[in-house]
Amino acid sequence: MDPTLKTRTISALKAALPDLPPRLQTVAKYIVDHPSDFGLDPIRETARKCGVSTYTLVRMAGRMGFDSYDALREPFRHALVSAGATVERPDWIDSMRRRGELGQVQAEAALNTMAIVQRSLERQSAGEMERVAELLLEAENVYLTAVRASYALAYYFHYVGRMALPTLQLVPRHMNSAIDELNMAGPGDVMIAITFQPYSRETIEACEFASDRGVKLILISDSEVISSAFRPEAVLVASTVSTHHFGCYAGAMGIIENLLALLVARGGTAARRRITSYEELRKANNAYWIAQK
């Protein structure tokens, strides 16, 4: 089988998505976001996860030019054979399971965290991450926006990243909206938006506003398919699968750490000098607690 068929199918689904009927849009987005599950699950399970009928899945296959549903799924099944690496389960996981009900909960959460970090990082190609780092370093201004739970990721990214990337600005500041802060943004600028399902209205509207101003968009999200109102320059996709009700952000943090490492390395001597100056400033102002001797 052609090893590029899965990639070409995903690209075709993305291109077709804006013109599909609502139910087929749901299916297309599910396939793009969950290619491994789509290749692994039987048709009834995929229909349940999508919230559609099996007939809708068959219609999707026909719409994309495949003779059958199995023909549409086959490239994804084939990819699992060559890329089906799983996270090794260390001995301490089994020991944790034997601690009772809460031990089992903790063990499942630990395995899930390790798995999504691996899945998130293995999706990031070296070439694409390097391209994103170059876009950020070459921009006149870099805006970084997120709200609610995602804001914690953005705050950390800004706190560390501004030492290597002095043009980095966390928006909104104070009680403004992100759009207020983007009023003077233009084609020479880049905006990083961090958002995960359910997507924040404020963040999506900020992306639309920035796109209209000619700002290049970089998304850190759980999907490449969010809104047809803007076209990102790059999407760094993180898995957020969780064993509890809320998304697990360990994979997104892994991507951010990788990007920070690239920015510091690419920033060279100037970045190292800025990092040193921040450390000296904090020490001079007693920012760090020191135990009494």
How many CB atoms lie under 10 A from the CB of residue 252?
26
Distances (CA, A) of 23 to 18, 27, 237: 12, 6, 23
Six-digit token string for 198: 């359910």
Spell out the residues 6+ positions from residue 202 whose beta carbon is closer than 8 angstroms to its own: 147, 177, 178
CATH 3.40.50.10490 domain range(s) in the chain: 126-284
Average of per-residue pLDDT values in the chain: 90
Q: What amino acid is encoded at 202 in this protein?
A: E
Beta strands at 142-145 and 190-195: parallel, antiparallel or unpaired: parallel
Q: What's the CATH code, domain 5-82?
A: 1.10.10.10
Residue 192 main-chain phi, psi, to 5 deg = -100, 125
pTM of the model: 0.81
CATH 1.10.10.10 domain range(s) in the chain: 5-82
b/e string for 198-221 if b means 16 or more Cβ within 10 A?
A: ebbebbbebbebbbeeebbbbbbb
Top-confidence residue, 5 or 266: 266
The class of domain 126-284 in CATH terms is alpha beta
Distances (CA, A) of 16 to 2, 29, 64, 96, 194: 21, 11, 9, 46, 25
Q: What is the mean pLDDT of residues 232-244?
A: 90
Six-digit token string for 143: 């805006």
Distance CA 193, CA 209 (A): 12
- Of 31-35, 143-147, 175-179, 228-232, the poorest mean pLDDT is in 175-179
| pLDDT given for residue 80 in this prediction | 65
Interval 91-136: pLDDT, tens: 899 999 999 999 999 999 998 899 889 889 988 999 999 999 999 9
Residue 70 near residue 37 (C-beta atoms within 8 A):
no
Confidence band of 85 (pLDDT split at 50, 70, 90): very low
